[in-house]
Amino acid sequence: MPSLKSIARRFSDRAFGTAFDHALARSRHAPRNSFLFYWNRGMGDVALCLVPLFARIRSEAPGARIAVITRDELKAPFELADVDEVYVLPGLQREARVDLAGACTTLGLDLGEFGTVFDYPDPNRWLEGRRHEFPPTLSWNPQWDVYAERLLPVPPNQIVIGAHVHSETAGYYGYVKDWPAAAWQSLFARFAV
Q: Where are the alpha helices (DSSP H) in the chain?
A: 4-16, 19-27, 44-45, 51-60, 75-79, 100-107, 123-127, 145-149, 170-173, 181-191
Q: What is the pLDDT of residue 181?
A: 86
Instruction: Grade residue 152 by pLDDT with cuts at 50, 70 and 90.
Output: confident
Q: What is the pLDDT of residue 82?
A: 92
Q: What is the pLDDT of residue 74?
A: 96
Q: What is the pLDDT of residue 169?
A: 72
Alpha carbon of 119 to those of 12, 39, 62, 79, 103: distances in Å?
A: 22, 8, 22, 19, 11
Within 10 Å of residue 28's Cβ, how many Cβ atoms? 11
Q: Report the pLDDT averaged over residues 124-143.
A: 90
More confident residue, 160 or 86: 86
Distance of CA 31 to the CA centre of its chain: 25
More confident residue, 13 or 101: 101
pLDDT tens digits for range 43-53: 889 999 999 99
Q: Report the pLDDT averaged over residues 3-29.
A: 89
Instruction: Grade residue 25 by pLDDT with cuts at 50, 70 and 90.
Output: very high
Fold of 4-133: Rossmann fold (3.40.50)
Residue 40 has pLDDT above 80, yes or no: yes
In the sheet that holds 116-118, the strands lie side by side as 85-88, 65-70, 34-38, 116-118
Q: What is the pLDDT of residue 46?
A: 94
Q: How far apart are CA 22 and CA 174, in angstroms?
A: 34
**Do residues 74 and 44 make contact, with C-beta atoms less than 8 angstroms apart?**
no
Query: How open is the CA angle 95-23-88, to the nearest 5 degrees?
Result: 35
Q: What is the pLDDT of residue 172?
A: 72
Q: What are the residue boundaries of the structural domains of the chain, listed by start?
A: 4-133, 142-191
Query: How open is the CA angle 24-2-121, to the nearest 5 degrees?
Result: 25
